[in-house]
Amino acid sequence: MQRNSNRPLVVKIEKIIEETPTVRTLVFSDEIFSSVLPGQFAMVWIPGVNELPMSVMITLEKGKGAFTVRKHGLASTELYNLKVGDYIGMRGPYGNSFTIKQGKLLLVGGGTGLVPLVRLLTFLKKTDEVTILIGAKTKEEVFFEKLANQLLENNKHQVIVVTEDGTYGKSGLVTEEMEKLLYEKKFDAIYTCGPEKMMHKVVQLAHTKKLHVQASLERMMKCGMGICGSCCMGEVLVCKDGTVFDGEYLLSNKEFGFTHRNKAGILENY
Ligand SMILES: Cc1cc2nc3c(=O)[nH]c(=O)nc-3n(C[C@H](O)[C@H](O)[C@H](O)COP(=O)(O)OP(=O)(O)OC[C@H]3O[C@@H](n4cnc5c(N)ncnc54)[C@H](O)[C@@H]3O)c2cc1C
Ligand code: FES
């Protein structure tokens, strides 16, 4: 099925899944958004409020697309508060996707950064051995643990939850757990999405072991299609050249993990 990604589409919210007290998944019908590649995103229009970039979440139903939103500022809270039967607009899908490797794979995600990683799980082969590290601040912010186990039921797999305050799963940062895992096990590829500081550490750790690593970046996005420049990271546009980049490239980019642009386009430190 073909459609111009830049042509806005309006869909009705058909179902809402409560993931945590601050995170909800909104489900709608659309063939194209039901089958995007892992790492691709949409520009979601909340009528009368704003347009936000959102990774496209999977659903377990054919022909359905979804977004998993954490309520944060004005626009994401308005999106989070929508009800079944309300309408949202969207453009896309935009961006590239993860290169899918085979073998022993490690996925490291934090918060809604888990969305493209969960989609990646649906592209893996049954012969892949998969370890997924799910990072959260505290027990009540953990989500997608059950879904990840369900999607991986036919693979040799391990879903490891790490909370910063130790209220659930392992205690500490996902990157600390990753460091331990890299000593214990061998991996063929690593994928990550989440806060950029976390991804920077993941890429550095993978690099020390000379492992293939890719990260899906979240930068300030306004047009989502390579025009406005608000998502630039050095010479690249995250919306158009990414969102997925190889670790080797990222470590050569002086902005990655250190600075990003705010809504006014001004460079700020993380
Ligand atoms: C490719 C991509 C995928 C994303 N996927 C998800 C997702 O699946 N689920 C989810 O909840 N969030 C996702 N986000 C983040 C989301 O777009 C918003 O940043 C976030 O919801 C806060 O928006 P706000 O306007 O409510 O908050 P505000 O209070 O207005 O802003 C809070 C912070 O959010 C970030 N932000 C705000 N507007 C934008 C914007 N237009 N582009 C990028 N960052 C912005 C900035 O860091 C800002 O400081 C994604 C971002 C990108 C770039
Ligand atoms: S968001 Fe406009 S160029 Fe990337």
> What's the rounded mean pLDDT across residues 4-25?
95
Which ligand 1 atom sits nearest the alpha carbon of residue 51?
41
Which ligand gives the minimal distance to the CA of 231?
2
Of 192, 232, 239, the residue nearest 212 (C-alpha): 192
Which ligand 1 atom sits nearest the alpha carbon of residue 53?
17
Instruction: Tell me the residue type at 117.
Output: L
Mean pLDDT of the chain: 95
Q: How far is CA 99 from CA 46, 102, 124, 170, 215, in A?
A: 31, 10, 11, 29, 11
Q: How far apart are CA 40 and CA 91, in angstroms?
A: 12
Residue 34 backbone phi and psi in degrees, to 5 = -80, -15
> What's the rounded mean pLDDT across residues 230-256?
96
pTM listed for this prediction: 0.96
- For a mutational test of ligand 1's pocket, the pick from 72, 90, 199, 223, i.e. the residue with the most ligand atoms closer than 8 A to its C-beta, is 72
Domains 9-94 and 104-269 share a fold: no
Contact 37, 97 (CB under 8 A): yes
Return the CATH number of 9-94, one of 3.20.190.10, 3.40.50.360, 2.40.30.10, 3.40.50.300: 2.40.30.10
Q: With a cut of 70, say whether residue 47 has pLDDT above it.
A: yes
Return the CATH number of 104-269, one of 3.90.1280.10, 2.40.160.20, 3.40.190.150, 3.40.50.80: 3.40.50.80
Q: How far apart are CA 143 and CA 29, in angstroms?
A: 23
| Interval between CA 219 and ligand 2 midpoint (Å) | 9
In a 13 Å sphere around the CA of 265, the CA atoms on its Cβ side amount to 5
Domain boundaries, the chain: 9-94, 104-269
Q: With a cut of 70, say whether residue 7 has pLDDT above it.
A: yes
Q: With a cut of 90, say whether residue 3 has pLDDT above it.
A: no
**Per-residue pLDDT tens for 138-173?**
999 999 999 999 999 999 999 999 999 999 999 999
> What's the rounded mean pLDDT across residues 49-71?
95
Give the chain's largest Cα–Cα span: 51
Q: How far is CA 88 from CA 18, 155, 229, in A?
A: 18, 36, 25
Q: With a cut of 90, say whether residue 2 has pLDDT above it.
A: no
**Per-residue pLDDT tens for 175-215?**
999 999 999 999 999 999 999 999 999 999 999 999 999 99
